[in-house]
């Protein structure tokens, strides 16, 4: 099945909704069970494998000091017929990060295989507007 960019944008939005709602079940549902997954949180070591990635999200989503995270300026790009990357900006408090989220087509729908976020020293001037 060929992935449509709108599907990737929708999956990206579902990822951030799960993040904002601190919904571990929704977050777990989004990550691939079939493909190898990778996650690079700012300041963390690289996490490889579903168990390590989901353990990190459990820790983040249950942390009472974890603030709200919003995303802006998402742009989806087709990488292969069954894979797309969404690049966007995240804002948490006064910190802006740039993130890449990669999704693949699976039988159940789109699933995430990679999330990488890093601090953005020069965010776009129109980020909030």
* pLDDT 10s digits, 3-40: 789 999 999 999 999 999 999 999 999 999 999 999 99
Does the predicted model carry a pTM greater than 0.85?
Answer: yes
Q: What is the pLDDT of residue 46?
A: 97
Residue 125's pLDDT is: 75
Q: Which of 35, 41, 12, 32 is nearest to 101 (CA)?
A: 12
Count CB atoms within 10 A of the CB of residue 64: 5
> Can you give the pLDDT at residue 76?
96
What pLDDT score does 129 carry? 46
| Mean pLDDT, all residues of the chain | 92
CA-closest candidate to residue 103, choices 31, 55, 50: 31
CB neighbour list of residue 55: distance below 8 Å, 6 or more residues apart:
none
Q: What is the pLDDT of residue 92?
A: 85
Q: How far is the C-alpha of 96 from the C-alpha of 114, rounded, in Å? A: 19
CATH class of 5-119: alpha beta
The tens place of each residue's pLDDT in the chain, 129 residues long, gives 567 899 999 999 999 999 999 999 999 999 999 999 999 999 999 999 999 999 999 999 999 888 788 899 999 999 999 999 999 999 988 889 999 999 999 998 999 999 999 999 888 876 544
């Amino acid at each position: 099945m060929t992935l449509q960019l709108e599907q990737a944008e929708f999956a990206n939005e579902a990822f951030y909704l799960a993040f904002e709602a601190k919904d571990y079940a929704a977050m777990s549902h989004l990550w691939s069970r079939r493909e190898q997954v990778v996650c690079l949180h700012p300041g963390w070591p690289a996490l490889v494998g579903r168990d390590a990635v989901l353990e990190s999200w459990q820790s983040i989503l249950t942390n009472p000091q974890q603030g709200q995270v919003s995303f802006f300026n998402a742009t989806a790009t087709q990488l292969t017929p069954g894979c797309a990357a969404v690049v966007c900006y995240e804002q948490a408090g006064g910190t802006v990060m740039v993130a890449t989220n990669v999704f693949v087509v699976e039988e159940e729908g789109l699933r995430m295989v990679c999330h990488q976020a890093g601090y953005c020293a020069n965010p776009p001037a129109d980020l909030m507007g």
